[in-house]
Amino acid sequence: MARFFPLEVTDVRRETRDAVVVTLAPRDEDRQAFDFTQGQYLTFRRSFDGEELRRSYSICTGKDEGLLRVGIKRVDGGAFSTWANEDLKAGDALEAMAPMGAFHVPLQPEMSRNYLAFAGGSGITPVLSLIKTTLAREPRSRFTLIYGNRSINSIMFREELEDIKNTNLGRFNVVHVLESEAQEIDLFSGRIDAEKCARLFKGWVNIAAVDMAFICGPEPMMLAIAASLREHGLRDEQIKFELFASAPRRAKHVVKTTTDGARAETCKATITLDGSTRVIEMAKKGETILEAALAASLDAPFACKAGVCSTCRAMVLEGEVEMETNHALEDYEVRQGYVLTCQCHPLSDHVVVTYDQ
Amino acid sequence: MTSDPSDKNKELERIRVSEKGGNAPETMPLEDYLAQGGKLTTPENAPPRYRGELLRLMATFVDSELAGAAGFADIINQGPGIKERISASRIVLEKLDHAERVLAVMGEFGADVSRYANHHPWTARVARDCDLGATRHGSDMRLAVLHYPLQDWLDAVVMNVLMGRAVTIQLDEFSRLSYQPLGDIFRAILPRERRHMELGEEGLRKLLQDETNRPAVTASIAYWRPRVAASFGAMASQHFDTQKKFGLRHTGNAELARQWADQVDGLLGDIGLR
């Protein structure tokens, strides 16, 4: 079960017009829990208008800086990122889970490796952590960053990257690719796509020497770069991804609970899976929603059938249900309308359940 | 590894600011992203149906490793020598470790990890002459083949040889799946599972040095072969189509089963059992 720790905000620095860098301090007793690995992220939770939101932001500091810091770029309509950009200040408290994520490779001080990273916009945050940690802990390795942004003003950590370049001469290079700005060398204008990669690999990056590549950005950019890297001979295990999901993936849903007297012995359950809907007459006692779905030949996901693994999670859109046990869903998920269907019996005469939301 | 870009960077400083503006965020529907081979990296990335299928796949692996280790643990003491008992112990230890690693990923999706490890009697087995086909049995997700009891050391070695080949083929398939943190784990454990298979094959060759073991080995292969074959699942499977859509699978059950049968035929030919 997710565990959240309190973090004190010790500094909020404006990085660009729509991005802030937030420095955080765990309590002394939680320091161990926040001993992150480069490239990991923190998941925060906060209540907005009574609804708990969770958002993940990557740590942008290196292992040796002794600081816990995340970059938060404002997303249009994003409640958490807007709040962080407008209202968050030093002295505030935040809640976060211990660092998670596997966007890194183990470093070996004696190795001399060539790393190549691609970052799109705020996708720089975990990459910056990788760059700083790698340069510090693998003194013979080199790092090249291809960094895409809309315009020069929107480049996060631009100065810091320059500083890193100057203090690690010959070991770190950055190539800026700017989408909305015409440049004298057109290679550096536009988006980082397959064609751009092919051209970069011709003159700027010795792709044959690359040991490991990292990509963090939006979906089309990740696909195009990964395809290009494979085309140029990199194997799957040499490419690490971090898909940044700045926009919430799940549709926001308001649970409508209709009370219909709940007089009948049976319930009409409307169950949706993969876009197809079945209406099932089921007993209110002795049968779970999952069992009813499986009996109706719906290939509903499940595993433990003991309320432990959460594989069978679905959302109740209408009606009332009760769960026998729940060891997997958190309160905020339950408030959103999620249930474990393996533990779930209808109370009302009609329920609408979907596995698709 | 790059040519020195400092000159170009100077040019960057001189760029003409000409906002084209109005660019839509460059995202795409997740279904398209996955269909084109995209990878997901955090629970937050995973849409609900993807999440369900991924958890189901992980549970199948975890339950199979836990049940496999539990069954094999009972056989350790029957190993004919210390070396054999060390091999069997190592297989048990590492299968539990593999289960723990994948269970940790399930935990990131909300599973109660400590409860999960004990929510089933992993040593439970059906009667030897039961026929479960490819269907799940009882209330855990282990592959049906792991419900059958091992009879003795020889039987355990044969089962491990046949199943070891199947596991390495499955893991090779899984190491390409679209949830990268899990794919990385499968890729990391594949060499160790391959080693388990090799330990089994070494054990089998040793058993066959004694000619009198031959009929028992043949009988054991006849028992396990169809049961392991069934673990590849239905040859035409709607479930596979769902998994494929999400990038969780790439190669069909029939093709994987064929690869396995070819490898087993090759091995049996090598050791003079065909």
B221-268 residue pLDDT tens: 999 999 999 999 877 778 899 999 999 999 999 999 999 999 999 999
Parallel/antiparallel/unpaired status of strands A41-48 and A51-58:
antiparallel
Number of domains observed in the structure of chain A: 3
Residues 6+ apart with CB under 8 A from B13: none
The predicted pLDDT at position A262 comes to 62
- Whether residue A178 sits in one domain with residue A151: yes
Task: Report B:35-74 residues touching A (Cβ under 8 A).
Answer: 36-42, 44-49, 51-53, 55-56, 59-60, 63
- Whether residue A329 sits in one domain with residue A272: yes
Exposed e or buried b per residue across A117-136, where buried means at least 16 C-beta atoms within 10 angstroms of its C-beta: bbbbbbbbbbbbbbbbbbbb
Q: Give the bridge partners for A7, in sequence order.
A: A26, A94
Query: What's the helix, strand, coil split of chain B in %, to 5?
Result: 65, 0, 35
User: Which residues of chain B neighbour A327 with C-beta distances below 8 Å?
Assistant: 112, 115
The gap from C-alpha A272 to its chain's centroid, in whole angstroms, comes to: 27
pTM of the model: 0.85
Q: Which residue has the tokens 């440049």?
A: A183
Tell whether the model's pLDDT for residue B22 goes beyond 70.
Answer: no
Helix (H) or strand (E) holding B249, with range, is: none
Q: Is residue B81 part of a domain?
A: yes
Mean pLDDT calculated for residue range B108-124:
89
CATH number at residue B162: 1.20.1260.10
Over pLDDT 70: what percentage of chain B?
A: 91
- Whether residue A90 sits in one domain with residue A17: yes
The predicted complex's ipTM stands at 0.82
CATH number at residue A336: 3.10.20.30
CA separation for the pair B155, B144 (Å, rounded): 17
Containing structural domain, residue A81: 4-97
Q: Assess contact for A271 and A354: CB atoms under 8 A.
A: yes
B139-161 residue pLDDT tens: 788 999 999 999 999 999 999 99
CATH number at residue A20: 2.40.30.10
Coil, helix or strand at residue B215? helix
Return the residue of A nearest to B8 by Cα.
Answer: A185
Residue numbers in chain A where pLDDT is lower than 50? 246-256
Q: Is residue B25 part of a domain?
A: no
Mean pLDDT calculated for residue range B168-177:
96
User: Chain A: nearest CA to B34, how far in angstroms?
Assistant: 9
Residues 6+ apart with CB under 8 A from A324: A307, A343, A344, A345
- Whether residue A123 sits in one domain with residue A90: no
The predicted pLDDT at position B8 comes to 39
Pull the structure tokens for residue B262: 């070819």
User: Which residues of chain B neighbour A173 with C-beta distances below 8 Å?
Assistant: 2, 4-5
- Whether residue A120 sits in one domain with residue A87: no
Q: Is residue A155 part of a domain?
A: yes
Closest partner residue to A309 (CB to CB) among B3, B46, B59 is: B59
